[in-house]
Amino acid sequence: MTAKIVIIGAGIGGLVASLLLAQAGLDVTVCEAAPTPGGKLRQVTAGGATIDAGPTVFTLRPVFEAIFAMAGARLEEHLTLEPLDCLARHAWEDGATLDLFADLEKSAAAIADFAGATAAAGYRAFSARARKIFETLDFSFMQTHQPRLAGLIRNAGPAHLGGLLNLSPFSNMWDELGRYFANPRLRQLFARYATYCGSSPFSAPATLMLIAHAERLGVWRIAGGMFRLAEVLVRLAEARGANFRFNAKVSDVITRNGRVCGARLASGETLPADAVIANADLAAINAGYLGPAARDAVAGMMKNATRSLSALTWAISGAAEGCPLAHHNVFFSNDYKAEFAEIAGKKLPTDPTIYICAPNPGAFFCLVNAPPVGDAGNPTQAEEDACLNIVLRKLQRCGLTLRPDAITRTGPQDFETMFQATGGALYGRALTNWKDSFARPGAKTKLPGLYLAGGAIHPGPGLPMAAISGRLAATRLLEDFGSTRTSFQVDMPGGTSMR
Ligand SMILES: Cc1cc2nc3c(=O)[nH]c(=O)nc-3n(C[C@H](O)[C@H](O)[C@H](O)COP(=O)(O)OP(=O)(O)OC[C@H]3O[C@@H](n4cnc5c(N)ncnc54)[C@H](O)[C@@H]3O)c2cc1C
């Protein structure tokens, strides 16, 4: 008999799991509370323009190529990925700008012009270090089922054991960056990578420097917008037999004789299932939003967890004048430490670092980091309005005049509504020390038949990582169901091997 699987949530983790399980021949139903797939991978409209309002930086293409290959498809036949030569343009209020490129030497030359030859040498050393960390953790940690420290050492093998000892897990990113960058602006620029995981560079472990390498491996834009990724995954999963139900909120994971036997929708309808994959945020499961059985199954998994950052975002249609924008742009605060101290104090920063994606003429996506306090009714609308004024004035000081015609705002309270019990935290638990990376749960729970996938689950947040978590959940489930398709071994160009 074909196993029936219910997947709760059509975020990237749920979508990848649905595709792989449908490919393996299982009877898959995805229940998504929202009217559209994607979760945080979302788009909104502003003044008639459709603008990506979630992830904008597409990295680690091989992760997606491998997942598509496992499903018997080719990424390039479904999505047009356009590589970006300029990874991001960085700017400060005194008019200083610095572009970083996928090409290391091009970036080194730009850094030499910006801050001198010593700074360029520091950048080369930093890049070598970031690469080493990435290569050490890629297979031993990111691609494997939630390893503990001992497992990490075993997985690293002799080739990467030295690298493991060199990870500097005990120093924070900010301190470690000081070893490479005497120039405060360069230190600030590279510290920003910690926020990709929703963490503060002042507490995140230095291992997060690996994100700089992930970005240097390439940043792409998706023709038609990032949301195409969600649409394509749905289409491919449907073509393999998966059934998608939107506006279908699950209220309960139901059990019989100590194992999962189905899911109950908020409408009262019951869907029988041999297994359930929960792509809802771990915080929501922990708070009981999927019922007592699921809550008990994740008991303790949020222990000592600090919420990751939230964001205040504006999708804007309108005009921009002044400094030319790249696809990705960052306008830095004058005092990074003060900015994160304010956020830690549960306030919107008074001088925020501003990210702007400019995907098309007349369309902009603007983001500042914000405290995850949406469940406490904060920040208020008045505070968010004030923040927008601060942002527009700061941009002007940086040489950019944004003239919005229409704005669609999403803040911590909105994120809390979409992703319950998170306060608007967008990346699961923040990494505040080396142990936090090991504290994310793996795909399997102690409740037989309940699996987890998503950015709060190992290996962590960001589209590629959440996609990997979906793959790991699908693999675990297939192993448990004794499927002949437990291993989707795919050998990728460049030696990346994925299971
Ligand atoms: C503003 C923003 C910018 C970002 N920028 C980037 C970036 O540039 N690059 C990058 O790689 N990553 C970025 N990220 C992070 C990335 O988007 C996330 O890590 C990733 O999309 C999380 O996927 P997920 O699998 O955890 O699912 P989620 O996106 O969290 O989706 C979970 C889904 O489950 C559904 N759900 C929850 N409960 C229920 C229920 N009870 N019943 C039915 N459905 C339910 C929700 O409606 C949702 O659709 C960004 C995120 C945000 C918000």
> Pocket of ligand 1, candidates 40, 222, 419: which has the most ligand atoms within 8 Å of its Cβ, to mutate?
40
Q: What are the tens digits of pLDDT across the range 433-445?
A: 888 888 999 999 9
Going by pLDDT thresholds of 50, 70 and 90, the confidence category of residue 491 is very low
Residue 450 has pLDDT above 80, yes or no: yes
Structural element, H or E, at residue 392? helix 381-397
425: Cβ contacts below 8 Å, ≥ 6 apart: 198, 283, 307, 308, 309, 310, 372, 415
How many C-beta neighbours within 10 Å does residue 363 have? 20
Distance 429 CA to ligand 1 centre (A): 14
**Ligand 1: which atom is nearest the Cα of residue 37?**
49
Ligand 1 contacts (CB < 6 A) are: 8-13, 31-34, 39-41, 54-57, 249-250, 279-281, 284, 289-290, 311, 313, 367, 419, 426, 454-455, 461-463, 466
Which atom belonging to ligand 1 lies closest to the Cα atom of 466?
25
**CA 416 – ligand 1 centroid, Å:** 12
Q: Is the Cβ–Cβ distance between 315 and 408 less than 8 Å?
A: yes
Tell me which residue has its CA closest to atom 26 in ligand 1.
454
Q: Is the pLDDT of residue 488 over 80?
A: no
Pocket test for ligand 1, best of 279, 451, 468 (most atoms within 8 A of CB): 279
Question: Would you call 383 exposed, middle or buried from its count of C-beta atoms within 10 A (0-12, 13-18, 19+)?
Answer: middle
Which amino acid residue places its CA nearest to atom 13 of ligand 1?
55
- Going by pLDDT thresholds of 50, 70 and 90, the confidence category of residue 355 is very high
Question: Is the pLDDT confidence value at 486 over 60?
Answer: no
Residue 165 reports pLDDT greater than 80? no
Residue 418 Cα, ligand 1 centroid: separation in angstroms?
Answer: 9
User: Are residues 276 and 5 in contact, defined by beta-carbon separation less than 8 angstroms?
Assistant: yes
Q: How far is the CA of 362 from the centre of ligand 1 (A)?
A: 26
Is the per-residue pLDDT at 467 higher than 90?
A: yes
11: closest CA among 466, 479, 486? 466
Three-state DSSP class for 423? coil
Q: Residues 119-132: what's their mean pLDDT? A: 97
- Gap from CA of 315 to ligand 1 centroid (Å): 17
* Token pair recorded at residue 485: 């398709």
Q: Measuring from atom 14 of ligand 1, which residue has the nearest CA?
A: 55
Band of pLDDT at residue 266, cut at 50, 70 and 90: very high
pLDDT of residue 499: 37
For residue 267, the CA-to-ligand 1 centroid distance in Å is 23
**Atom of ligand 1 at shortest range from CA of 469:** 25
Interval between CA 39 and ligand 1 midpoint (Å): 4
How far is C-alpha 181 from the geometric centre of its chain's CA atoms?
Answer: 26
Structure tokens at 277: 């994959």
Average pLDDT over residues 275-298: 98
pLDDT at position 437: 85
Q: Which atom, in ligand 1's list, is nearest to the CA of 31?
A: 43
What is the reported pLDDT for 494? Answer: 36
Q: What is the CA radius of gyration of the chain?
A: 22
How does pLDDT run across 205-244, given as a tens digit for each residue? 999 999 999 999 999 999 999 999 999 999 999 999 999 9
How close is the Cα of 251 to the center of ligand 1, in Å?
A: 19
Q: Kindly tell me if the per-residue pLDDT of 487 is higher than 50.
A: no
Atom of ligand 1 nearest to the CA of 284: 38
Kindly report, residue by residue over 371-393, the tens digit of the pLDDT. Answer: 999 999 999 999 999 999 999 99
Count of CB atoms situated within 10 Å of the CB of 197: 24
Instruction: Find the 12 Cα to ligand 1 centroid distance in Å.
Output: 7
